[in-house]
Amino acid sequence: MDPILVGIAGLVLILVLMSQRVPVAMAMMVVGFIGLVVLNSWQSALATLVTETWSTLIFYELMVIPFFVLMGNVASMCGMSRDLYGAANAWVGWMRGGLAHGTVLGCTGFAALSGSSVASALTIGRVALPEMKRYGYDRRLAAGAVAAGGTLGILIPPSTGFVIYAILTEESIGRLFLAGVIPGILLAGMFMLTIFIQVAFKPEIGPAARRYTWREKRIALGRAMSILFIIFVSIGGIYGGVFTPVEAAAVGAVLAVFFALLRKRFSPGIVHSVLLNTVNTSVMIYFIIIGAAIFSPFLALTQIPDSLAAALTGYDLGPVTLLFIVLIAFIALGTFLDGFAMMVLILPIVLPIIEQSQVPAFLELRPDSSDFNVWFGVIMVIILEMALISPPVGMNVFVVKGVAPDVPMRDIYIGILPFWIAMMICLVILVAFPQISLFLPNTMLN
């Protein structure tokens, strides 16, 4: 049987299973296993299932996932995220659009703890949306700020998106984490610029909140110092070479628990919820990685990546055209595919094509170097962020709808549009200037 036809049938079957709400991890496992049986043998498929599952479970660097998830859950359920938003609100809430700016800042800070876009949007949204409603903010602006700000959770380290990308490409998790810092800050700044422009044209959509005294600002900032300290120690430790990513995650989790105990915000019910949510999230991510590990050998046997690479190289499209086609294809796929599903399904096909093209040379990056993979990882994660707020699948849209059920979906999508455009501009900047992403990881190595 033609391997390429088997591969195409497998990809179609995965899409069919996902359309029937089969989890993407399970869909990849089933299709990958059946495909290995067809293209190789029953024994080979069983061996792959066992060895890939075991190697994933004992892979030391993946311990970063449960530790960082635990850290984010402790911060969320013990009220630290509320303190973070309160500090941002106290310092910038007095200006027009200030509460929306505070929402973006709160999401930026919480992103450095949770590693999850959905968790960031949900946690900050529960605090920010009622506050903006109380001051008469336009519901489109409020919804857009929460949905877009939440996407920073998978760009600013620690990021589950970077962890999965690192596993798929065998890249350093630490380098990817550091590569996301400056682009994350840049994107947060562009979100705030988007809010500023909207409020400048329509001041009524973002009324100024009350002005806090300097004493109130200092008190609010003091309450948020625990989170800022955890971020400084964990992420700063990675940058300074003091910790590996796993060690930084463990230290951050311990510090989060310590501050929660110090504030007397732990209770048996909270401990149960924190542990349960941590296990649920961690298992989901592990299953996705295991599914990808089983699906990848099948995809390699189909020869689809090599065939596509040869075909596109033969057309001599040129680096700019090829990169444009790839990015537009990813953005389009993000409108109906889950972000992580898109990454694990399409990345093994697309990355070899780009590596064999003139794109790395055009960007002045060697295709065989770590720099190219790290840069493309940042680009990939930003596209995942765009998918999180793109109709009809965007998860953050449904998170906002759940927090603010009175806001129509149409208004949420209209509110998101300016921020989506800001993401697109940020993407263009990072393509034009790849060293923005590579500055910190290369500094760390030097």
Q: What is the pLDDT of residue 393?
A: 67
Contacts of 168 (CB under 8 A, 6+ apart): 292, 296, 343, 344, 347, 348
Sign of CA dihedral 334, 340, 341, 345: positive
CB 206 within 8 A of CB 195: yes
Q: What is the pLDDT of residue 312?
A: 66
Rg value, the chain, Cα: 22
Task: Count CA atoms closer than 13 A to 203's CA, side-chain side.
Answer: 4
Angle between helices 435-445 and 214-239 (to 10 degrees): 70
Q: d(Cα 366, Cα 445) in Å, to the nearest integer?
A: 17
Q: What is the pLDDT of residue 344?
A: 79
Residue with token string 């996902």: 18
Q: What is the pLDDT of residue 52?
A: 83
Q: What is the pLDDT of residue 290?
A: 86
Contacts of 139 (CB under 8 A, 6+ apart): 133, 404, 407, 411, 415
Residue with token string 């990546």: 305
- Map residue 263 onto helix, strand or coil: coil
Q: What is the pLDDT of residue 69?
A: 85
Q: What is the pLDDT of residue 288?
A: 82
Of 350, 415, 352, 410, the C-alpha closest to 380 is 350
Q: What is the pLDDT of residue 159?
A: 82
Q: Which residues in the chain land under pLDDT 50?
A: none
Q: What is the pLDDT of residue 433?
A: 92
CB 245 within 8 A of CB 173: yes
CB 108 within 8 A of CB 149: yes
